[in-house]
Amino acid sequence: MPLLTIDPGGGSYTARFLGAPLVALALVGVLAAWRGRRRIALAAATGGVLVAALWAGLYLWRPRWISVALADPVTPAVIAAPRWVERAPGLETADVAVELAGERVESLALVRLDRARYDLSVHWAGDQPLAIEDWQRALAADVVINGSYFERDRTPTTPLRSAGRALGPAGYTSSHGAIVAGPGFDIIDLRGRDVASALAPYREAMVSYPLLVAPGGETRAGGRDDWFANRTFVGIDDQSRIVIATTREGFFALRRLGETLRRSSLGLRVALNLDGGPLASQIVAAGGWTRVVHGNAEITGAGDVLRLAYQSAQARGHEAVKLPIVLAAVRRR
């Protein structure tokens, strides 16, 4: 397992790099004091104070959205009405604030596409993953976002279809949905359906979860209400336009995101979540205008503050995570 894995299941950074040294220094200090080694005991005590001070400093540094999210983990947030700007024919963007109890806690980088003008396609490169900017250049796409989930060896966790080729697990059961394209574009509900048969008619497909907004208007998002991360989702609004979004912070747990979206002014009749955390990525390059979003947060609870600090530093340093799976939008010629 990589020492600095981005997987939340990889264990706590804070316990590994601060907690363990603090315990070790305390043991050394006690043993040294017992043996009469005053200099060693003093050095261990000094080291322990420095580690504890760093730990406390990281708690004080925590972004405000963590405290707000933990104080009220279930109330839906409010997404401001977007002010759409056309960047190319059939492509609009917006950046909107998200508030909880009148306090700004998050923002969404939005893209809206006319599906009569754009084709969407799924791409997988497990042997040579690329940063989102490199994917955009390689595909000459106007929009690229991160895709669905993948394993440690970068193989797809969920079924995909790319240029008519089936990828990922052959036997898979889903109660959520899939993005499908060619012919047309849709987000289909897979509950109670054979996944392979449902995807077979399409050239491009990507199974993911959860359905943040299901076709009936409810949300199927669940899980822990204290699992916060950057999120990327794809939806279809009430005028059949494709809506793509990536959050700029890690405020949303999935259940709250689903409840927020189904009540929002975005008018989504269906929305499917993709992978998140530091992997959540988006690039728009159209009409001479460019916007890039990189994920910077994934944390369960509030204890692993060192992980959050590492992810934030990685994003600020433009250390883009390389993605094996992406979804691209290319303008029709």
What pLDDT shows up at residue 319? 64
What pLDDT shows up at residue 3? 44
What pLDDT shows up at residue 119? 95
* Residue matched to tokens 């008018």: 267
Q: Find out whether 260 and 269 touch, Cβ atoms under 8 Å.
A: no
What pLDDT shows up at residue 173? 92
What pLDDT shows up at residue 5? 52
Distance, in Å, from the CA atom of 61 to the CA atom of 84, rounded to the nearest integer, reads 34
* Residues near 68 by beta carbon (within 8 Å), at least 6 away in sequence: 100, 101, 103, 105, 251
Q: Tokens standing for 185?
A: 């574009």
pLDDT in tens, 24-76: 988 998 998 888 888 998 998 898 899 889 888 888 888 899 889 999 999 99
Q: Find out whether 257 and 221 touch, Cβ atoms under 8 Å.
A: yes
What pLDDT shows up at residue 183? 85
Low-confidence ranges of the chain (pLDDT < 50): 1-4, 6
What pLDDT shows up at residue 9? 54
Distance, in Å, from the CA atom of 42 to the CA atom of 39, rounded to the nearest integer, reads 5
